[in-house]
Structure 1
Amino acid sequence: MKILAEISEKSLGLTGDCERLGSDYELRKSARVILLNKKGEMAVQYLSNYGFHKLPGGGVDAGETIEEALKREALEEVGCDCEIVREVGMTIEYRNKYQLLHISYCFVANMVGEVGQTKLEEGEIEEGQETLWMPPAIAFEKMKKDKPGKFEGHFILERETSFLDEYLKNNNSKQKHEQIQYIEFLSNDIERIKKFYSGCFGWEFTDYGKEYSAFSGEYVDGGFGVGEPVKGSVLTVLYSEDLETTKEKVKKAGGVITKETFSFPGGRRFEFEDIDGNKLAVWSDR
């Protein structure tokens, strides 16, 4: 696993040394997770009594693998099961004040099922720990601005921002060469079409005057301008982790299924028209 950062009091600008060669350290290993829901938001633990944010995760117990510890911590701190997608990287902390060598391993994981009851430890409750959901880029900005109210917080924030920086660099699909970055639709009723897509997919909009409204997603942005919808133009294809549920949302919002679910070599998909007659498709590899 790639080492993303080596952190010490000295590297953080605190009073203290860098690593002490030849010294005895107590070893601690932990698992951290960038845990994503179906909206592409990530779970963030906010420590309200200390004023900073961190990733879900914690120490690896005796006999556990890193992956087992990650799933246990996600269930305890966030209240959900998860499926690990890939590695992000690792950090090494030399907390000389406590003679602690702390190695953290970070993974990306998708939430499985719904969020249930958490099982926080007494110390986590005393910290005022609560789960917030937000886009990864927003979480990164919040952590960079945080001013931790305890010594360990400086190490935690440097560690977490190292993980998120690596994740965001590898997931910034908006700037990839010759990839779709923005899509535009025409609509003769902006408010009506906003309501449709909010109901189907939870899209959030920003209005720019009365004749244009933009939406932003993790992988592609777009907007709706005032005009007569053009049928039969370029087909816009969306991805879904749960094709059947998405299909029901489209129908409930007033969309018309124009081609029922069918299989193709890469997965399954269906096609529909929105309430203005724009033609779209939704596919899934599941």
Structure 2
Amino acid sequence: MINVLFSAEPDMWAVYEGPLNAGFVAAGLDVDLARDHAPDDVDYIVFAPNGPVQDFRPYRNAKAVMSLWAGVETVVDNATLTQPLCRMVDEGLTTGMVEWVTAHTMRHHIGMDRHIHGQDGLWRNTVYPPTAADRPVTILGLGALGAACGQALVHLGFPVTGWSRRPKSVPDIQCLHGDAGLTEALTGAQIVITLLPQTPQTNDILNADTLALLARGAFVINPGRGPLIDDAALLAALDNGQVGHATLDVFREEPLPVDHPYWAHPQVTVTPHIAATTRPETAVRSIAENIRLGEAGLPLLHVVDRTRGY
């Protein structure tokens, strides 16, 4: 019997209990899933950072901690966490992100707001977008989500440049890295999508200096992490026309305070951290597979590198 502790907000138990148990059975695993296993008996922890487990020291026999979230910035520096930490990578989360990013990219590319909000009797047929081939897109972050979003946009005809801190290779995407690569990736970009993890090195990566590199009137789309953007610099760039519109799904403080300038700014779209939601039906397959690998003594998938922070 494999003892798996579920540690997330109480209302998530009803959401995940059935799918997790079904996933364990499908994977051929004999699992006792519970919220109240004695710490010494726990083999694996299914974890959300807002759940009850914050001190991992009592779980000295746990073989791994498997996050329900893609982001791990709130737990990666927890000194009590000595077990392997696996971040969530699953097809449902990736599909959701690709669909959200593609939708908002096309919205800005086509300029559909002009017509959606312009139902005033004026026949606006003198302004039309370029084709996708003439709209350069830059994606900051070439992990699983960034690479998938980039390839989806390539298939729609956009020239896509991707940037990461370290060298990467993604088919059909121009891949750059390092400080010089960041400057090249942002210079002249008309749409910038941020999908980097939150680390000290990526905080405020879009700031007054880097925003000034974009094509004037560029669009900024952030479904990654709120601190990737210097909020004051973005608001200034929106006000002076350097950035034409920002669509933001993540923020330094969530929910976004009602008095935050983003809410009232005419060139900002706020969405409530919904770009990529973990979907139980697909996430459980990732969790079950990692437990299967762990029990077989094989390397786990998507283990976080603590030195990098993701």
Q: Give TM-score scaled by structure 2 length.
A: 0.28
Q: Kindly indicate which of the two structures has a greater share of residues assigned to helix.
A: 2
Q: Kindly indicate which of the two structures has a greater share of residues assigned to strand.
A: 1
Larger Rg, first or second structure (1 or 2):
1
Q: Give TM-score scaled by structure 1 length.
A: 0.29
Greater RCO (Cα-Cα under 8 Å, separation 6 or more): 2
